[in-house]
Amino acid sequence: MQAQIGVGAKAPKDAEVLFDGSRKMLDEKWTYWEGPRLAASLPIKWKIEKDPVGAGTVMNTNDPAAAGGKYGAADIVTKEAFRDFRLHIEFYISKPGGNSGVYLQNRYEIQVLDGDTTSHGLGAVINETPSPYYAYNGVGKWNAYDIVFRAARFKDGKRVENAQVTMYFNGKKVHKNQPISQVWGGPNSGIDGGNDGGKGITDTPGGLKLQAEGHDVLYRNIWIKPLDLKAANTDFSK
């Protein structure tokens, strides 16, 4: 599997654009995640703003309902759910300490957090890998995650294979066939977060979720291509 990656990567013809910078697409394809801490109401209060360093417009995660870092209060999720997929997403952290998160299947977080180089830090498969902080372009610059994700597999209602992810961060391969064991962060985090301490993964597809943490973290150029990965291999090349 080959694909263009990195900041500015254009969606291939067979991919679905999830955000093109327009308010129209934000409202058409996204909604608030109805988790236990939801405190926001439609329409989505994330603002569409001018790209601070480029042409076009972007979305700002700084929803007033999430002020003070109240994750789960105003997170947004795609109306469409996914199993296996190829994802491209670009983010811009405006100020030091800026915090958000990209949730695969509304379960597994790829962290967006300036200044944290731990396993809870930027670019980490949260709590499961070290942070590949070396690949970060820094505050005030656009960054890109390019991901191939394979959902957990089940037999007779029991999980027999963990979810798995390969990821490029700004064009550098930082995770390769990384298994993901559970949902972290509790029930306010995502699907299955409240099941057996996050270990009770279910065979339910989920949307792409973006986290509101009360920070000026911006997103643009989001596209996805559904896949059907028979083998437990998510590795892909540029």
Q: Is the pLDDT of residue 3 over 80?
A: no
11-61 pLDDT per residue, tens: 999 999 999 999 999 999 999 999 999 999 999 999 999 999 989 999 999
Q: Is the pLDDT of residue 1 over 80?
A: no
32: Cβ contacts below 8 Å, ≥ 6 apart: 38, 40, 41, 42, 44, 74, 75, 76, 77
CB 147 within 8 A of CB 166: yes
192-237 pLDDT per residue, tens: 999 999 999 999 999 999 999 999 999 999 999 999 999 999 999 9
Rounded-to-integer distance, Cα 188 and Cα 35, Å = 6
